[in-house]
A = this chain, B = another copy of it.
């Protein structure tokens, strides 16, 4: 089947179980559940859960045991966007052409819906660990660390602290490895761990995810300058507006394009050293760095 068609089908499958995992809009706290659901619905590409599920398949997983972890990862990714959009952080009112959560529900519910999504991710994973056993605890630990104070939250913090100050390539790498790569790495690693991958295999996947994540972020920086606003669904030049140094400001558009190619080549090379194959996963990872939106 055609890659784009297959990806569309897989995205729909993910949307179906993701919605089923979210809490029902019931109780006096229905508005919280509604704001959580809205936040998840505004997103759309479902890259991280897709990568997790494909890594699970690649290492021989065949059942639905990875679904709660894939759903949890998307909740964690979504909460990070909801909090990042808050007035105290990036103060963004639109994402993918729709109002951000705080813009629609107010700032307090923006905080709480984000908290709810982060906590609910661990409610869902705790259920899975208690009910399924297996490698769930290991997968949960991988996702928790990637999202955590040496992972994504560290990336957000350093990004915030250094905004408007002179930045180096080393600093940008530090931020991007944490802010972007960490969750992508954890998607590959958690999926594979659930299917019983060895620690050596997880270590290779971590490097793959790191290269893809950095290339993905550099591509993001490039698209923020020369992308198509209508395809991206968000205004260009947000980095400039927020006084953020990026790979583009540091090494220019051409240098940035070259680095994207270099890193994606390295990712593919490393992926091919593994004794298992998943052509869809490989194409998916490559599509992240060749995308135009």
Contacts and interface: CB of A to CB of B under 8 A. Distances in A.
Interface of A: 23, 27-29, 31-33, 36, 79, 83, 86-89, 106-112, 114-116, 118-120, 122-123, 126-127, 129-130, 137-138, 140-141, 144-145, 147-150, 153-154, 156-158, 160-162, 171, 174, 178
A156 to B, nearest CB: 6
Contact of A119 (B127, B130, B144): B144
A188 to B, nearest CB: 18
Most B-side CB within 10 Å, residue of A107, A118, A162 = A118
A147 B130 contact: no
5 contacts: A32-B149, A88-B106, A116-B148, A116-B149, A119-B147
B126 A141 contact: yes
A157 B88 contact: no
Main secondary structure of the interface of A (DSSP, over half): helix
B108 A154 contact: no
Copies of this chain assembled into the complex: 2
Given A31-B161, A32-B154, A83-B111, 12 more contacts: A27-B154, A29-B178, A86-B88, A88-B111, A109-B157, A115-B118, A116-B149, A126-B137, A126-B140, A126-B141, A126-B145, A130-B137
Contacts of A130: 137-138, 141
A239 B160 CA distance: 34
B174 A148 contact: no
A128 B32 CA distance: 30
Contact of A137 (B27, B31, B110, B129): B129
Most B-side CB within 10 Å, residue of A33, A36, A106, A140 = A140
A157 B32 contact: yes
Contacts of A119: 118, 144, 147-149, 153
A162 B29 CA distance: 11
A137 B158 CA distance: 32
Given A31-B161, A111-B88, A141-B126, A150 B23 contact: yes
A160 B105 CA distance: 12
B111 A86 contact: yes
